[in-house]
A = this chain, B = another copy of it.
Amino acid sequence: MSADPLVVFTPSGKRGHFPVGTPVLTAARQLGVDLDSVCGGRGICSKCQITPSFGEFPKHGVTAHKDALSEWNSVEQRYDDKRGLKEGRRLGCQATVQGDIVIDVPEESQVHKQVIRKAASDRIITMDPATRLYFIEVDEPDMHTPTGDLERVARALQEQWQIDNVRAALPVLSKLQPALRKGKWQITVALNKGHDDTHARILDVWPGLYEGGIYGLAIDLGSTTIAAHLCDLVTGEVKASSGLMNPQIRFGEDLMSRVSYVMMNPGGDVEMTTAVRTAINGLIETIATEAEIDPNAIFETVFVCNPVMHHLLLGIDPVELGQAPFALATSDSMSLDAREMDLHAMNDNARVYILPCIAGHVGADAAAVALSEEPGKSDDLVLIVDVGTNAEILLGDKDRVLACSSPTGPAFEGAQISSGQRAAPGAIERLEINPETKEPRFRVIGSDIWSDEDGFDNATATTGITGICGSGIIEAVAEMRMAGLLDDSGLIGSAEQTGTSRSIPEGRTHSYLIHDATADGGPLITVTQGDIRAIQLAKSALYAGARLLMDERGVDTVDRVVLAGAFGAHISSKHAMVLGMIPDAPLDKVTSAGNAAGTGARIALCNVMARATIEKTVGEITKVETAIEPKFQEHFVNANAIPHKTDPFPELAKIMTLPNVSFNTGGGDSAGGGRRRRRRG
């Protein structure tokens, strides 16, 4: 046995014998223990804090005496005086091993911290960002063996951090010389190395030890909204989140209308590219202000988006995506300088990573959902639906993952709905209809009080009741079906047929009155027959896409359903199933994953190797093109009924029986947009 003291690190359990006098940081490095250090053990960055434990540790076979570490030294004293060292903590680069000892590495001293994402699932992100800070001491220039300052910086990174092949962005070169001299040949560099890079690039440089933060953005660039999360690239913490409407909406509400705009207006792609890049620059400024950080400290942005937004962001005409065979200009991931995309609001040398697209209709956003939800690691068969203007659908398990997209249109986001509106205070988000009285009760965003409860009027006095948002319209339509106001073909019954005066005639069809605020100068909030038709089109598209993947996989049911997307988080699974948006499944197997695409972007931002993972995964996904698949049309037509014309919903039937009503009188509007309606048996 070795006579050298035994050092045991927790929580890793790594252990080894080291000569008396070995700094704890050195011991940690030799054992491969994850202990952070920016200054390389010079006692100035304080990142290597550890907590020694003294006493008997039978588990580890160690008895640690009080003098098992060297005494508190002047460097630690100075640091403690200046900034305060937590009780029991030591600096790992200063404390040396004197006897057997157990040393705990606290979470914040680990480079590869694990960040639990704040969502329903408990997925963990291991911090391993592409951009990190390194403090180095650089040799002074020597006239007799002349080398450039950059070449000596590269040598220091090699010698002090074992990082080879370092280059500098051109703007860094003009900052390097003053920084080296101001820092007395000690500098901190922000170094970026992507998963597929053969060299590391210096993105920024500061004199001495830089004590500010470094940040990255995860941006989910949707057709309708742009959502950004600002993440601390050291801790993984989300410092701020912000969003805005995609300004391209003025060129067309949905993707295909934007593609049409380009076809009709030469140069329209350039206009839209400029608009979205300008908006993103504005968003970056906003989020930096909100988080109270310098936007120059933002070094990376990860984008996820659908293929059309992908092309418009990159300045590529999306017209090929508007027609078969829906060819992407490029499908692989992209790593580039932010300045190439005119994203100037961040650091001059910031990098951009864009996840790969899966197919011409299935974008980097779907890839991000796959990265976040990992269907390919699932033991049971999971259907993941990311509901937006375009729905991305993934179906799979450990054996195989399939993907497609389906053009749901904007109805689920409250657009094309007569009383529809964005999810904002005043919008109806929850709704119930009493099956006996046919009277509705509802809640609006901004208040927890139902409309039939005391205090509702007060609570909504400032916001008013302004319309119905996406989740509200889904509940409204489902509740109307459950209350017998709507038949399975989607026809709203008349006052006579339904027995409620809330069914009001509108031309040859009927509307259901939810709230009349006209007396107060407010709106008349109704669900019209047209609204029902819009929702039917959207939900049929969604269901047909899912069904197509199930066909491809050879199954009639799925084990569980995950609703993703900001919107997905707010949908009631019961109502979604009554509507037939999703295939039948036990209700407790229908969960929400929140903004899974945004989470995928965050994962790719915080963990550089996740980029390699998703690139590989995307290559293995089976792509299904809904637009050319003849069965899609058949599935779409069958899915028009509520919940469905032919597919049984046995799990739904276990918890409720839908009224068997029919309001078709032979004339007027008929279900399925004129298609002949058949009653389900």
Contact = CB atoms under 8 A, between A and B. Distances in A.
Interface of A: 140-151, 168, 170-171, 173-174, 176-178, 198, 314-317, 320, 324-332, 336, 340-341, 357-360, 623, 625, 628
A329 B625 contact: no
A267 to B, nearest CB: 12
Contact of A146 (B328, B332, B336): B328
A471 B168 CA distance: 43
A147 B331 CA distance: 6
Q: Which 10 A-B pairs have the closest CB atoms?
A: A148-B331, A141-B327, A146-B359, A150-B330, A148-B330, A148-B328, A143-B325, A143-B625, A141-B325, A198-B198
Contacts of A358: 146
A173 B329 contact: yes
Contacts of A176: 329
Given A141-B325, A176-B329, A177-B320, A314 B170 contact: yes
Contacts of A171: 315
Contacts of A149: 320, 327-330
26 contacts: A141-B360, A143-B324, A143-B326, A143-B359, A143-B625, A144-B623, A144-B625, A145-B623, A146-B327, A146-B358, A146-B623, A146-B625, A147-B328, A148-B327, A149-B329, A150-B331, A170-B314, A170-B315, A170-B336, A170-B340, A173-B329, A174-B317, A176-B329, A177-B320, A177-B327, A178-B317
Contacts of A316: 173-174, 177
Contacts of A628: 143
B360 A329 contact: no
A646 to B, nearest CB: 27
Given A148-B327, A148-B331, 5 more contacts: A141-B325, A149-B320, A151-B330, A173-B316, A177-B317
A363 to B, nearest CB: 11
B623 A150 contact: no
Nearest to A326: B143
A173 B143 contact: no
A148 to B, nearest CB: 3
B325 A148 contact: no
Contact of A332 (B143, B148, B332, B625): B148
A171 B342 CA distance: 13
Contacts of A177: 316-317, 320, 327, 329
Contact of A174 (B178, B315, B325, B341): B315
A143, A174, A176 pick with most chain B CB within 10 angstroms: A143
Nearest to A273: B174
A125 B245 CA distance: 58
- Summarize A's interface: helix, strand, loop or mixed: loop
A617 to B, nearest CB: 15
A246 to B, nearest CB: 20
Contact of A173 (B140, B147, B330): B330
A140, A331, A357 pick with most chain B CB within 10 angstroms: A331
Given A174-B315, A317-B174, A357 B148 contact: yes
Nearest to A150: B330
Given A174-B316, A314-B170, A329 B359 contact: no
A147 B625 CA distance: 13
Nearest to A181: B320
Contacts of A141: 325-327, 360
A217 to B, nearest CB: 19
Nearest to A199: B198
Contacts of A150: 329-332
Contacts of A623: 144-146
Contacts of A357: 148
A311 B331 CA distance: 39
A259 B371 CA distance: 53
A324 B140 CA distance: 12
A92 to B, nearest CB: 35
Given A146-B623, A173-B316, A174-B316, A168 B360 contact: no
A205 to B, nearest CB: 11
A146 B145 CA distance: 55
Contacts of A178: 317
Contacts of A331: 146-148, 150-151
Contacts of A170: 314-315, 336, 340-341
A438 to B, nearest CB: 48
A315 to B, nearest CB: 6
Contact of A326 (B140, B146, B324, B341): B146
Contacts of A315: 170-171, 173-174
A10 B636 CA distance: 69
Contacts of A174: 314-317, 329
A171 to B, nearest CB: 8
A178 B198 CA distance: 32
Contacts of A328: 146-149
Given A173-B314, A174-B315, A177-B317, A330 B168 contact: yes
A360 B146 contact: yes
A329 B143 contact: no
Contacts of A340: 170
Contacts of A625: 143-144, 146
Contacts of A330: 148-151, 168, 173
Contacts of A327: 141, 146, 148-149, 177
A137 B586 CA distance: 52
Nearest to A178: B317
A150 B356 CA distance: 13
A329 B169 CA distance: 12
A198 B148 CA distance: 24
A332 B173 contact: no
A141 B321 CA distance: 12
A176 B332 CA distance: 15
A142 B173 contact: no
Contacts of A320: 149, 177
Contacts of A317: 174, 177-178
A138 to B, nearest CB: 11
A176 B311 CA distance: 13
Nearest to A627: B143
A142 B332 contact: no
A551 to B, nearest CB: 15
